[in-house]
Amino acid sequence: MTESRKSRLQALADEDPALHALAERLLGVAEAGLPAMYLAEADTFAFTRAQAAADSAAAGSAAVGNNASGGLELRGTSTRYAAITALGARFLPLERQRAVLGGHTAEEFTGLLVQRLPEVVNLGDAALIAWAAAETAHPKLSDALDRVAALDADGRPRYTVEAAWVLSALAAARGSQDVEQRFAAARDRLLAARLGDSPLFPHATGPGLVPWYRSHIGCFADQTYPLQALARAHASGDRAGGASGAGDPEALAAAEACAQRICALQGDGGQWWWHYDARKGTVVEGYPVYSVHQHAMAPTALFDVTDAGGSDFGPAIRRGLGWMTEVPELAAAPAGAQEPMILDELGVTWRKVYRGDPKKAVRAARGVTTRVAPGLRLSPLDRVFRPAAVDRECRPYEFGWMLHAWLGGEQG
């Protein structure tokens, strides 16, 4: 067991032994589930492992459990999910890395991704590969950073998540590469993306990428990845050769403010909500509630703020983790028919609980109305579209970030 793992999991054990057992259980599901998502012929990961169409109408865990394979099938491939998995798997012992990554260590698997960079055209994908290359000390890190620079050279606005990944990659590279000019530009771009004096982030760093009537909205990922990147930017100061403890107080303050706000908005059942008004720092639409937010994305981002010198967000992390087994949205189901979000025997956590509204109608309606009337909820929608549906799929990045959250730490 690494010192990083001791610190996070032992702290959880000290605070709540039952949640510690849940975290250990989820880590076991991740290590069991990732090999089932690996496509050996292509040396990469599938985009998703989902319930087959023929079985999708069967509701409840009993229907799934009666099928030896769970009726699950692999669909598509994903470069970014592969890179995220490498970022998490690097904290495992080498033999367990190989078990998860098709026989490769995290560094070797990252090398495969670096080799494929000439064909990568998405900035976020390239940034994640560069981040993994920096964290695994890959000898071709400079090539990966050059690809990120080439894809980010036109100065256009970027999706906030991708801009955050660029900053995280550059922060990770500061100790071994001369990236200071690019680092400063990425850091300033992310800080400038905020709207007014709100601590939250919109979906894009500038106009043009998002329709005007949704430009005020940011999703949960638009909060966690920037606050993580800014915390890491602050923490990377020493690695860049600066004075001890110098860091970047402005970046840390922005990360702290964003973290504090999303924690203040957290649901009574520990839910991390889906969409926010980035102008006002309020919730626009709560659903779906995604498992990955509960067990992985919120923890890994909030842990990074704490590790960088910010507040302790342990209570919010624990509330979010607890949702995985105490799902209030599903509690109204008849006794014996309550569907679990974790299926250990299949190596999956179901992706989300959602409303089942056609074409995300509630999100669309609330997005438009809050543009002109901030805070307007259209409450009847909550009664018509209740969040009691389960999305029966699981994606590799969910487990990659889980490993990153609970096995990582200050020494990661």
SS (H, E, C) 121-134: CCHHHHHHHHHHHH
Element (H, E) at 381: helix 380-384
Q: For 3-407, which CATH class?
A: mainly alpha
Q: Is the peptide bond before 380 cis (omega within 30 degrees of 0)?
A: no
pLDDT of residue 320: 98
**DSSP structural state of residue 339:** P
Question: Phi then psi for 284, rounded to 5 degrees?
Answer: -95, -50
Nearest Cα neighbor of 105 from 117, 96, 114 is: 96
Alpha carbons 356 and 334: distance in angstroms, whole number: 19
What sign does the dihedral 35-294-158-410 (CA atoms) show?
negative
Under 8 Å between Cβ of 13 and 34 = no
pLDDT of residue 388: 85
pLDDT of residue 243: 44
Q: pLDDT truncated to tens, each residue of the chain (412 aa)?
A: 444 445 899 999 999 999 999 999 999 999 999 999 999 999 999 999 999 875 554 544 443 443 335 699 999 999 999 999 999 999 999 999 999 999 999 999 999 999 999 999 999 999 999 999 999 999 999 999 999 999 999 989 999 999 999 999 999 999 999 999 999 999 999 999 999 999 999 999 999 999 998 999 999 999 999 999 999 999 998 665 554 457 999 999 999 999 999 999 999 999 999 999 999 999 999 999 999 999 999 999 999 999 999 999 999 999 999 999 999 999 876 666 689 999 999 999 999 999 875 656 545 554 455 555 566 555 565 655 678 899 999 999 999 999 999 999 744 3
Residue 168, Cβ neighbours under 10 Å: how many?
Answer: 28
Residue count of the chain, please give it. Answer: 412
Q: Compute the half-sphere exposure of residue 35: CA atoms within 13 Å on the CB side of its CA.
A: 13
Name residue 240's amino acid: A
| Assessment of whether the complete model's pTM goes beyond 0.95 | no
Sequence-ordered list of residues with C-beta below 8 angstroms from that of 187, at least 6 positions apart, any chain: 167, 230, 233, 248, 251
Sequence-ordered alpha helix ranges (H) in 16-151: 17-37, 61-65, 79-89, 94-100, 106-115, 123-135, 141-151
Retrieve residue 119's tokens.
């064909």
Beta strands of 154-239 (E only): which ranges? 217-219
User: Domain locations in the chain?
Assistant: 3-407
Nearest Cα neighbor of 98 from 11, 17, 38 is: 38
pLDDT of residue 387: 82
pLDDT of residue 102: 98
CA-to-CA separations, 330 to 51, 109, 265, 272, in angstroms, rounded: 19, 39, 21, 16
pLDDT of residue 371: 54
Beta strands of 263-367 (E only): which ranges? 275-277, 282-285, 289-290, 342-343, 348-349, 352-354
Alpha carbons 210 and 216: distance in angstroms, whole number: 9
Q: Compute the half-sphere exposure of residue 402: CA atoms within 13 Å on the CB side of its CA.
A: 27
